[in-house]
């Protein structure tokens, strides 16, 4: 268990870090032209987030209540988690080359107050992204971007809980807007890689599948090449015909996961139905030319209702087809509803509920999962440089496969303080 002296030392170090940033943020007017450091025509904003999170499902660890020292708990273990996240954001507008960049490094400390063994799973997370837009207002532009992310929230829906993901994607696109912009076509290409590692070194009870064993997650390290062509024709002032096409080639560095060569094409309408309602409706098809095969109808239907200038509601349905480890492909039928409102220019309340019905393309052993998500939160702007947030997250997952790593309920409550200069 983490010693009290260590906790006090960590908190004192954190306060020592916060003090100079808070002091700088309180300088009247901040830097000339506003807060942040001037960079050309833009500004660089350092920030620091401090978060305390009570998490009922940080991972699977040894069960100290049993005499067997190798016995692992069959349930996700809870823990009080401290997260410290220093970072920066930069925006440099320009008619020739506009830059947007952000980066943060996050230390995730499992305190050991609820699960003693969890302290060994403390780790670093982080993210960095950079976007350069050349000739943003010209008929032909160029966008180059790169995103790097290390997180315990993996994009791979086939895997169980307790996995760290290291993801990087390099993307380029060429927006072409002839004739004033009523018609726009955008060819694009990207290359993404993702590597996995376990949060803990214990195998959950009942795990007989590779996808729920944290010790085998490196078998799913992958590379994805994507080429696409998107089009938009605004035939009415506020309504457009849209076309989305992309071709994904997914391969794996290790293991026996089947490669995928997935083509997706969809078309539809997007725009305003009324001054307060906007909607998107698209229909298409996805087909895998890889050895595992598979195809299905894909669709999108969503709408946003502007109840007032400070209150919005959004709801919709998505049906997607994507590459995935172990199975080759998976289908996701997603329903969601979201609401957001602003009170007094400072208090923001938000809520999101979603249901995902996942179907994995495995001829020998078909698998289906159901995921339910709930996200409730509130943000309050105390000062221009000080933001507080509180929230609750619920995620439940049930799978046709056995194993606690694929069947669980996770509750998270958090309190966050953000300082921005």
Question: What pLDDT is recorded for position 214?
Answer: 72
| Type and span of the H or E element at 233 | strand 222-236
Instruction: State residue 204's pLDDT score.
Output: 62
Is residue 254 very low, low, confident or very high in pLDDT (cuts 50, 70, 90)? confident
CATH 2.40.160 fits 28-420, yes or no: yes
Residue 109's pLDDT is what?
A: 94
Q: Mean pLDDT, to the nearest integer, of 212-231? A: 89
Evaluate if residue 53 carries a pLDDT over 70. yes
Model confidence at 161: pLDDT above 80: no
Q: How much is the pLDDT for 287?
A: 96
| Higher-confidence position of 32 and 311 | 311
> Which of these ranges, 82-96, 338-352, 356-370, 382-396, has the smallest mean pLDDT?
356-370
What is the phi-psi region of residue 265: left when phi exceeds 0, alpha when psi lies from -120 to 50, beta otherwise? Answer: beta
Report d(CA 260, CA 208) in Å as an integer: 25
239-252 and 328-343: which strand pairing? Answer: unpaired
pLDDT at 362 over 50: yes
pLDDT tier for residue 67 given thresholds of 50, 70 and 90: low
Model pLDDT, residue 304: 97
Supply the pLDDT for residue 370: 96
Residue 198 is predicted with a pLDDT of 81
Contacting residues for 79 by C-beta, under 8 A, at least 6 apart = 55, 58, 110, 111, 112, 113, 114, 115, 118
Q: What is the largest CA-CA distance in the chain?
A: 76
pLDDT of residue 293: 87
- What is the mean predicted confidence (pLDDT) over 142-165? 87
Cβ-contact 132, 117 below 8 angstroms: no
Nearest residue to 21 (alpha-carbon basis) of 108, 86, 105? 86
- Is the pLDDT assigned to residue 118 strictly greater than 90? no
Higher-pLDDT residue of 419 and 157 is: 419
Per-residue pLDDT averaged across 262-274, rounded?
Answer: 96
Q: Which of 239-243, 369-373, 407-411, 415-419 has the lowest mean pLDDT?
A: 407-411
For residue 212, name the pLDDT band (cuts at 50, 70, 90): confident
Confidence at 19, pLDDT banded by 50, 70, 90: very low
The whole-number average pLDDT for the span 128-133 is 97
Instruction: Please state which of the ranges 191-195, 290-294, 353-357 shows the lowest mean pLDDT.
Output: 290-294
What is the mean pLDDT of the segment spanning 120-133? 93
Mean model confidence pLDDT for the chain: 86
Q: What is the pLDDT of residues 20-32, one digit of tens each?
A: 333 333 333 333 3
Q: Which residue has the higher pLDDT, 257 or 414?
A: 414
Of residues 343 and 72, more confidently modeled? 343
Quick one: CA torsion of 109, 76, 372, 245, rounded to 10 degrees? 70
Q: What is the pLDDT of residue 64?
A: 63
The predicted structure's pLDDT at residue 201: 61
Residue given tokens 């249901």 in the structure block: 355
Label residue 68 by pLDDT band (50, 70, 90): low
> Which of 108-122, 352-366, 378-392 is predicted most confidently?
378-392
Of residues 385 and 155, which shows the higher confidence score? 385
- The band of 13, judged by pLDDT with boundaries at 50, 70 and 90, is very low
Say whether pLDDT at 15 is over 60: no
**Rounded Cα gap, residues 417 and 386, in angstroms:** 7
Mean pLDDT of 309-326: 95
| Least confident range of 146-155, 181-190, 195-204, 232-241 | 195-204
**Which of 165, 230, 170 is closest to 199 using CA atoms?**
165
Average pLDDT over residues 90-110: 94
Average pLDDT over every residue of 266-281: 95
34 vs 341, residue with greater confidence: 341
Mean pLDDT of 284-312: 94
């Amino acid at each position: 268990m983490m010693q009290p002296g260590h906790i006090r030392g960590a908190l004192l170090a954190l306060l020592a870090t916060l003090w100079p940033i808070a002091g700088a943020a309180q300088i009247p007017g901040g830097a000339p032209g506003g807060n942040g450091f001037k960079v050309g025509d833009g500004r660089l904003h350092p920030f620091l987030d401090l978060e305390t999170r009570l998490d009922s499902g940080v991972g699977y660890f040894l069960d100290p209540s049993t005499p067997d020292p190798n016995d692992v708990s069959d349930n996700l273990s809870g823990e009080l988690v401290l997260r410290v996240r220093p970072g920066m954001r930069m925006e440099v507008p320009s008619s020739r080359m506009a830059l947007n960049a952000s980066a943060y490094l996050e230390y995730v400390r499992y305190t050991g107050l609820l699960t003693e063994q969890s302290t060994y799973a403390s780790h670093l997370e982080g993210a960095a992204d950079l976007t350069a837009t050349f000739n943003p207002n010209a008929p032909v532009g160029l966008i180059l971007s790169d995103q790097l992310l290390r997180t315990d929230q993996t994009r791979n829906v086939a895997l169980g809980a307790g996995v760290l993901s290291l993801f990087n994607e390099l993307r380029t696109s060429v927006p072409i807007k002839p004739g004033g912009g009523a018609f726009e076509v955008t060819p694009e290409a990207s290359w993404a890689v993702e590597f996995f590692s376990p949060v803990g070194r214990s195998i959950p009870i009942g795990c007989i599948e590779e996808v729920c064993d944290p010790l085998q997650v490196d078998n799913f390290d992958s590379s994805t090449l994507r080429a696409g062509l998107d089009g938009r024709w605004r035939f009415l002032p506020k309504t457009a015909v849209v076309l989305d096409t992309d071709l994904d080639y997914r391969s794996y560095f290790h293991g026996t996961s089947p490669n995928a060569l997935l083509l997706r094409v969809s078309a539809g309408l997007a725009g305003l139905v009324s001054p307060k309602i906007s909607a998107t409706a698209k229909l298409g098809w996805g087909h895998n030319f890889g050895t595992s095969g598979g195809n299905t109808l894909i669709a999108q239907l969503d709408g946003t209702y502007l109840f007032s200038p400070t209150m919005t509601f959004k709801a919709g349905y998505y049906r997607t087809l994507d590459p995935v480890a172990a199975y080759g492909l998976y289908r996701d039928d997603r329903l969601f509803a979201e609401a957001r409102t602003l009170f007094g220019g400072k208090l923001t309340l938000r809520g999101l509920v979603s249901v995902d019905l996942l179907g994995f393309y495995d001829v020998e052993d078909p698998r289906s999962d159901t995921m339910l998500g709930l996200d409730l939160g509130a943000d309050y702007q105390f000062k221009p440089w000080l933001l507080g947030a509180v929230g609750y997250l619920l995620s439940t997952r049930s799978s046709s496969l056995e194993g606690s790593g694929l069947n669980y309920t996770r509750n998270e409550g958090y309190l966050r303080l953000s300082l921005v200069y």
